[in-house]
Amino acid sequence: MSDEPSKKPLVGVIFGSKSDLRIMQSAIDTLKDLLVPHEFGIYSAHRTPDRMFEYAESAQRRGLRVIIAGAGGSAHLPGMTAAKTLVPVLAVPVESETSVINSIAALLSMVQMPAGVPTGTLAVGKAGAINAALLAAQILATTDEILYHRLYAYRVRMTESVLRDDDQLPRDPLPESKR
């Protein structure tokens, strides 16, 4: 499914189950905010393996420059996608709502790719999904100056927001006797 029908997607966001959208929506929203043409969909390594391979094999031809793959559990989606394409794959371990071992298992599975087939693994959960989108945009920005400036503005806004938070911390003035 393409989110910006007028533009050819440059980033593909894929995930193993509808249940992963809860986390992967943050990657989609971040790409949307940065006006990066993207698409997203469900591609399960175990339940729709042929669909996943077809996606990976056609990625380069279709113009995708980065793939973001999110999965939980045994989390084979990013690794198997990377095995079938040279388009860089960023992996997001999806945080399970029900089981701690699920998130940790996904993370450990993703960081154990054998030498020769890399995936770049981000943090578990929402932070990882947002950072995968930012990293994808940063990769594209190496050859896109307008996107570079958009990312720069994102950083400035983030810094300003932290400074505003600091400014608003409750700091009771010391009573005169203690000055």
Task: Compare residues 44 and 131 and give the one whose CB is closer to ligand RP5.
Answer: 44
Is 103 a binding residue for ligand RP5 by CB under 6 A? The answer is no
Stretch that binds ligand RP5, among 13-21, 124-132, 136-144, 168-176 (CB under 6 A): 13-21
**What whole-number distance in Å separates Cα of residue 53 and Cα of residue 99?**
28
Asked if 30 contacts 127 with a C-beta cutoff of 8 angstroms, the reply is no
**Could you say which residues in the range 32-61 bind ligand RP5, by CB under 6 A?**
44
Is 147 a binding residue for ligand RP5 by CB under 6 A? The answer is no
| Beta-carbon count within 10 A of 150 CB | 16
Task: Compare residues 2 and 19 and give the one whose CB is closer to ligand RP5.
Answer: 19
Tell me, by CB under 6 A, how many residues bind ligand RP5.
10
| Beta-carbon count within 10 A of 102 CB | 18
Is 26 a binding residue for ligand RP5 by CB under 6 A? The answer is no
Q: Which two tokens stand for residue 13?
A: 């966001």
Is 71 a binding residue for ligand RP5 by CB under 6 A? The answer is yes
Stretch that binds ligand RP5, among 10-18, 126-134, 153-161, 168-176 (CB under 6 A): 10-18
Which residue spans within the chain are E strands per DSSP? 11-15, 38-42, 66-71, 89-93, 120-121
Is 2 a binding residue for ligand RP5 by CB under 6 A? The answer is no
Q: How many CA atoms lie within 13 A of 141 on its CB side?
A: 18
Is 132 a binding residue for ligand RP5 by CB under 6 A? The answer is no
Asked if 32 contacts 11 with a C-beta cutoff of 8 angstroms, the reply is no
Is 109 a binding residue for ligand RP5 by CB under 6 A? The answer is no
Is 95 a binding residue for ligand RP5 by CB under 6 A? The answer is no
Is 94 a binding residue for ligand RP5 by CB under 6 A? The answer is yes
Work out how close the CB of 76 gets to ligand RP5 at its nearest, in angstroms, rounded to a whole number: 8
| Integer CA distances (angstroms), 96 to 24, 70, 72, 78, 123, in order | 12, 12, 7, 17, 13
Name the site residues for ligand RP5 (rule: CB under 6 A).
15-17, 19-20, 44, 71-73, 94
